[in-house]
Amino acid sequence: MMAYDPALMQALVFLMMLILVDVFLGGAIAIRAGTFSLAELPRFLQTEVLPYYMGVLAVVGLAMVDDVQHFGTVPLAWAVITAYGSKVVFVEIRKKIFILFKVSVEDTPVK
C-alpha cells in the first residue's frame, strides 16, 4: 500500500522546477556562445538530466511504500532531495548565472 506524502511530492516538483531552470540557463549560455545544437538536446536530457531526476523519483517513490517506511526511507528521501536541490541551486545555477551575466569570482565582495 502507498502512503501519499504531499510534502514530499511538493519538494519533488520544486526540485524538477530547479532542474528546468538549470537546463534553461545552460541553453541560454549555449545560445549566447553559439554552441547550442538542437540535435544534441535529447542526448543531453537522456544522459545529464533524467538519470538524476529518476534516481530521486525512485527514492521518493520508495519512501511512500508503507512496507519500507519503518526502515527510515522518508528521512532518506528528504536528505536526497535536499542534497541534490542544494547542489543544483548553490553550484550549478550559481555558476550559470555568473557565466550568463559575466560576473567573475573576483568581482564578488568577500566578507
Domain that holds residue 47: 6-103
Task: Classify residue 36: in a domain, yes or no.
Answer: yes
Determine phi and psi for 72, rounding to 5 degrees: 85, 30
Task: Classify residue 1: in a domain, yes or no.
Answer: no
Task: Classify residue 111: in a domain, yes or no.
Answer: no
Task: Classify residue 92: in a domain, yes or no.
Answer: yes
What is the Cα 83 distance to its own chain's centre? Answer: 10
- How many independent structural domains does the chain possess? 1
pLDDT in tens, 77-105: 999 999 999 999 889 999 999 999 988 87
Burial of 31 (0-12, 13-18, 19+ CB in 10 A): exposed
The CA distance from 63 to 41, in Å, is 31
Q: Taking the model in full, what pTM does it have?
A: 0.84
Task: Classify residue 77: in a domain, yes or no.
Answer: yes
pLDDT in tens, 12-37: 999 999 999 999 999 999 999 999 99
Q: How confident is the model at residue 1 (pLDDT cuts 50, 70, 90)?
A: confident
